[in-house]
Amino acid sequence: QVQLVESGGGLVQAGGSLRLSCAASARTFSNYVMGWFRQAPGEEREVVAAIGWIVGSTYYADSVKGRFTISRDNYKNSLYLQMRTLEPEDTAVYYCAARLSPDAGTYSVHPHEYDHWGQGTQVTVSS
């Protein structure tokens, strides 16, 4: 069973930055495709960014393009989300997700495609 633990959330003013981290217990982390999702109160969970294990396989939601950067460090079994120029609309609980995919290294963007989820970390952006 893969365990995912997010950290780095918090309260920040609009225009500020945060860096989220996700530590994974997976033995073969390099064979996982990973994603960051978020869910605001009363809203459905939505993809923010996703990354495969093929170099260059990344996806960003239109709302975060140019502001957020997803990355992974396979040696540290870690996933990151650098968030810049944060907006109040970015306020949500952010979740890390993982799916074992040794045969297909491209990203996935739908929540149902992921098998493992973290507990979430709250990001609040004040105006």
Tokens 């780095």 belong to: 8
Backbone angles phi, psi at 15, to 5 degrees: 95, -10
Cα–Cα distance, 98 to 87 (Å, whole number): 26
Residues 120 and 4 sit within 8 Å (Cβ to Cβ): no
Which pLDDT tens digits describe the chain residue by residue (127 residues)? 899 999 999 999 999 999 999 999 988 999 999 999 999 999 999 999 999 998 889 999 999 999 999 999 999 999 999 999 999 999 999 999 999 998 888 999 999 999 999 999 999 999 9
Q: What is the pLDDT of residues 55-83, one digit of tens each?
A: 889 999 999 999 999 999 999 999 999 99
Supply 3's token pair: 């365990």
CA distances to 3, 63, 76, 92 from 41, in Å: 25, 18, 32, 7
